[in-house]
Every structure is written in structure tokens, then in C-alpha cells.
Amino acid sequence: MISPRPTTTLWRPTGPEELDLVRARDWRAWPPRLPEQPIFYPVLNEGYAVKIARDWNVKHDGAGFVTRFEVESAFLRRYPVRQAGGETILELWVPAEELDAFNAHIVGTIEVVHEFR
């Protein structure tokens, strides 16, 4: 019997437009970055994702969502954890040109776990 590869849980705060693009990809991949978005940044802490979705996405997009998804842990080792502020404000910075490879290592589906309006 083959054991499943270890995964890491990541969260992504997002607005309604990006969420629609994820839905169009059957909840299995993130859409390509726009030219002004050179980095895709999933976060390692659910509370941090909630704060961004609630305090930033709602203000700028009218709604905010927190998604949760699993990525193969071995693949994620190529991205150092970045501390973007306080001790629990941790992100991975995935260059836009590597997003297809990142998406290929998502295990299962991307799910919405919080919604703010």
C-alpha cells in the first residue's frame, strides 16, 4: 500500500472576483496573476487570513473569503516562510511564473471556510 504524501495546510484570503476564477477551475487551481501581481502569497495562519479577508477584502471588494487548501509539503520547501509583520503573520511568496507548478501540487480541492460581507 502506498502512503499519501505529506501535505501542508495553507490559507488564502481572497475577494469575489478571484474566488469566481477558482470556482471556474473546479476548485483545484489558482488563476494566473495579473501583471501588477508578481507574487501569489498563500498564508500559513488562518487568523491572519481572516484578518485580511475581513479588514481588507471587504473594504476593497465588498466581500472577503478565506480559503483553505493542501499542498504537497516537499514541494513547498522551495519557498521560504516570510514573516510579513508580527510573529504569526507568515506567508509563502510564490513567483507568478511558478503558479502553474504550485497548482499542480495542490492536493484535493480549495474550500471556502469563512465569508465576510
User: Can you say whether the dihedral through the CA atoms of 38, 31, 72, 43 is positive or negative?
Assistant: positive
- 110: pLDDT strictly greater than 90: yes
Q: Which residue has the cell 469566481?
A: 20
Give me the residues paired with residue 111 across strands. 68
The amino acid at residue 12 is: R
For residue range 8-33, list pLDDT tens digits in order.
999 999 999 999 999 999 999 999 99
The mean per-residue pLDDT over the stretch 79-86 comes to 90
Measured distance CA(91)–CA(103) in Å, rounded? 17
Q: Which of 3-7, 19-23, 26-30, 97-101 has the lowest mean pLDDT?
A: 3-7
Q: Hey, what amino acid is at 86?
A: G
Of the candidates 9, 7, 6, 8, which has an alpha carbon nearest to the alpha carbon of residue 66? 9
> Dihedral (C-alpha) 84, 87, 89, 91: value to the nearest 10 degrees?
70
Q: Is 9 helix (H, G, I), strand (E, B) or coil?
A: strand
pTM of the model: 0.94
Bridge-based pairing state of the strands 81-83 and 39-40: unpaired
**What's residue 2's pLDDT?**
66
Mean per-residue pLDDT of the chain: 95
